[in-house]
């Protein structure tokens, strides 16, 4: 059978550990959900648990139910990276044999000079840093000089932070577009990210007006295929940003996880036929990168509480897939992403309860299944598990 709509929800960074190549990425022992659950003394995730989450890893507070109400499995990333762009691209059939460029010592002088000439302003920073730490340290100087703060991380990102009262938001976005145009060839980073902040020295906080300017996917994605078949792809959160707007027929930006869940519910009712593709970024942005296991646990419990709103909005011929794009273990010394397997939980009236989807060899199996459920095989990577998924 084919379905009316597939709802694909990415819990950004909600890994479960166990990546076979974790050592190569310096992430031995990283296991985002299991480790944070242990640190906080257990998490209450009855709805995700009922779908089979406890069958995937040892998660304190989540029992491995004997008869899950959904299908359950895990996915292993094969691309050479552990960032948002790489994870989402692999889900949709793009495999990266080489990692996106990173800058552990900051960006080369020629890149920064080209950016300063094109924007007409000197910069601050140009280093690897936590986003909250660098605005605490350089924010006052930025306010005094108007110079944008440029920084990066272990990921392939060129980030620009400015105060909303010093640099108007549209000007910040313009600087990001300029950077995106400069960062070509060997410096074609995964994302240029606008990081606006507000407040006074000593109390600076980032606003929800972040915007990502991504490089375009290196080839056709599942999203392109869905659109080519005359169906919709309705992106929620930063999905459109991740794919440079390509293969997305409508974008619904969001400012928080709760806002994202509201948007998912709305888009399920609005879509005629196709894919609702959502990224809930708070897990990663607000908690993983800030090493906040308690905040992360609360965010997971909040999603679990509201999961029924998503399933309640679905029609009888809709399918929901819940997964993640990488890990970001908030219990380790690192504040960066971690190489982990990710959960794969599937529910909806057409889904056969208790189906063990096993450990998938690539995130691309997810995208292949999406097109299969919508009625056509994918021309990209991945092996569909629709045949064992449906009743």
d(CA 372, CA 163): 46
What phi and psi, each to the nearest 5 degrees, are found at residue 56? -95, -25
pLDDT class for 260, splitting at 50, 70, 90?
very high
The answer to whether residue 103 is domain-embedded is no
Instruction: Note whether 329 and 296 are within 8 A (CB).
Output: no
The DSSP symbol for 92 reads: T
Q: Check whether residue 69 and residue 168 sit in a common domain.
A: no
Confidence grade of residue 2 (pLDDT, cut at 50, 70, 90): confident
Q: Can you state the angle between helices 293-313 and 257-270, rounded to 10 degrees?
A: 20
Q: Is residue 102 part of a domain?
A: no
pLDDT of residue 127: 97
Whether residue 185 sits in one domain with residue 135: yes
Handedness of CA 91, 304, 355, 373 (dihedral sign): negative
* CATH code, domain carrying 129: 3.30.70.1250
Looking at the domain assignment, is residue 143 inside a domain?
yes
For the stretch 366-380, pLDDT in tens is 999 999 999 999 999
pLDDT confidence of 142, banded at 50, 70, 90? Answer: very high
- 193 plus 243 within the same structural domain: no
CA atoms within 13 A on the CB side of 182: 21
Using 50, 70 and 90 to split pLDDT, how confident is the model at 62?
very high
Domain shared by 10 and 61, yes or no:
yes
Pairing of strands 356-360, 71-75: parallel
Domain end point (choices 199, 214, 229):
214
The enclosing domain of 220 has a CATH number of: 3.40.720.10
Same domain, 188 and 259: no
Domain that holds residue 75: 5-97+216-389
Helix (H, G, I), strand (E, B) or coil at 55: helix
pTM higher than 0.85, yes or no?
yes
Asked whether residue 290 is domain-assigned, the answer is yes
Q: Are 31 and 340 in contact (CB under 8 A)?
A: yes
Tokens standing for residue 120? 């007409």
How many whole angstroms from its chain centre is CA 1? 30
Does one domain contain both 196 and 330?
Answer: no
In a shared domain, residues 197 and 220: no
- Of 186, 214, 242, the domain-final residue: 214
Which pLDDT score, from 0 to 100, does residue 218 have?
87
Task: Identify whether 40 is part of a domain.
Answer: yes
Q: How many CA atoms lie within 13 A of 173 on its CB side?
A: 8
Residue where a domain terminates, one of 192, 214, 236: 214
Query: In this structure, are 74 and 144 located in the same domain?
Result: no
Percent of the chain at pLDDT exceeding 90: 98
pLDDT per position as a tens digit, 196-225: 999 999 999 999 999 999 999 989 999 999
Q: Is there a single domain that holds both residue 117 and residue 196?
A: yes
- Sequence-separated (6 or more) residues with CB below 8 Å from residue 90: 77, 78, 79, 96, 362, 363, 364, 381
pLDDT for residue 1 is more than 80: no
Q: Give me the residue label for tokens 């930063």.
A: 238
3-state secondary structure of 359: strand
Q: Is residue 104 domain-resident? A: no
Q: What mean pLDDT, rounded, does the chain reach?
A: 97
Clarify whether residues 17 and 70 are in a common domain.
Answer: yes
Tokens of 86: 């790489």
Q: What is the pLDDT of residues 309-357, one digit of tens each?
A: 999 999 999 999 999 999 999 999 999 999 999 999 999 999 999 999 9
Looking at the structure, do residues 30 and 144 belong to the same domain, yes or no? no
pLDDT tier for residue 386 given thresholds of 50, 70 and 90: very high
Pairing of strands 318-323, 5-11: parallel
Residue 326: predicted pLDDT: 98
pLDDT at 155: 87
- Same domain, yes or no, for 119 and 167? yes
Count of the separate structural domains present in the chain = 2
């Amino acid at each position: 059978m084919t379905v009316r709509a597939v709802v694909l929800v990415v819990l950004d960074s909600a890994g479960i550990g166990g990546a076979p190549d974790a050592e190569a990425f310096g992430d031995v022992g990283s296991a985002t959900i299991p480790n944070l659950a242990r640190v906080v003394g257990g998490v209450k995730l009855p709805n995700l648990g009922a779908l089979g989450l406890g069958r995937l890893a040892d998660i304190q507070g989540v029992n491995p139910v004997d008869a899950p109400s959904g299908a359950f499995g895990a996915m292993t990333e094969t691309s050479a990276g552990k960032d948002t762009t790489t994870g989402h691209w692999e889900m949709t059939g793009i495999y990266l044999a080489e990692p996106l460029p990173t800058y552990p010592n900051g960006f080369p002088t020629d890149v920064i000079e080209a950016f300063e000439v094109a924007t007409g302003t000197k910069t601050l920073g140009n280093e690897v840093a936590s986003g909250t730490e660098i605005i605490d340290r350089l924010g006052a100087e930025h306010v005094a000089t108007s110079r944008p703060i440029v920084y990066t991380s272990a990921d392939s990102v060129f980030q620009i932070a400015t105060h909303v009262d010093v640099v108007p938001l549209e000007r910040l976005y313009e600087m990001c577009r300029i950077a995106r145009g400069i960062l070509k060839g060997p410096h074609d980073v995964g994302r240029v990210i606008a990081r606006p902040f507000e407040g006074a020295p000593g109390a600076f906080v980032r606003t929800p007006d972040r915007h990502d300017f991504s490089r375009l996917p290196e080839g056709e994605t599942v999203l392109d295929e869905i659109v080519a078949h005359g169906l919709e792809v309705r992106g929620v959160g930063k999905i459109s940003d991740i794919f440079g707007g390509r293969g997305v027929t409508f974008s619904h930006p969001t400012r928080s996880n709760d806002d994202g869940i509201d948007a998912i519910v709305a888009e399920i009712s609005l879509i005629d036929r196709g894919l609702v593709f959502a990224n809930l970024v708070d897990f990663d942005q607000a908690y993983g990168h800030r090493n906040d296991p308690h905040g992360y646990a609360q965010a997971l419990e909040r999603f679990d509480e509201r999961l029924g709103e998503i399933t309640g909005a679905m029609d009888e011929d809709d399918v929901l897939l819940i997964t993640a794009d990488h890990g970001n273990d908030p219990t380790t010394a690192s504040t960066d992403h971690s190489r982990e397997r990710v959960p794969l939980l599937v529910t909806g009236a057409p889904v056969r309860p208790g189906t063990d989807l096993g450990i998938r060899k690539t995130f691309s199996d997810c995208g292949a299944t999406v097109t299969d459920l919508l009625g056509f095989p994918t021309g990209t990577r991945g092996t569909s598990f629709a045949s064992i998924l449906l009743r």
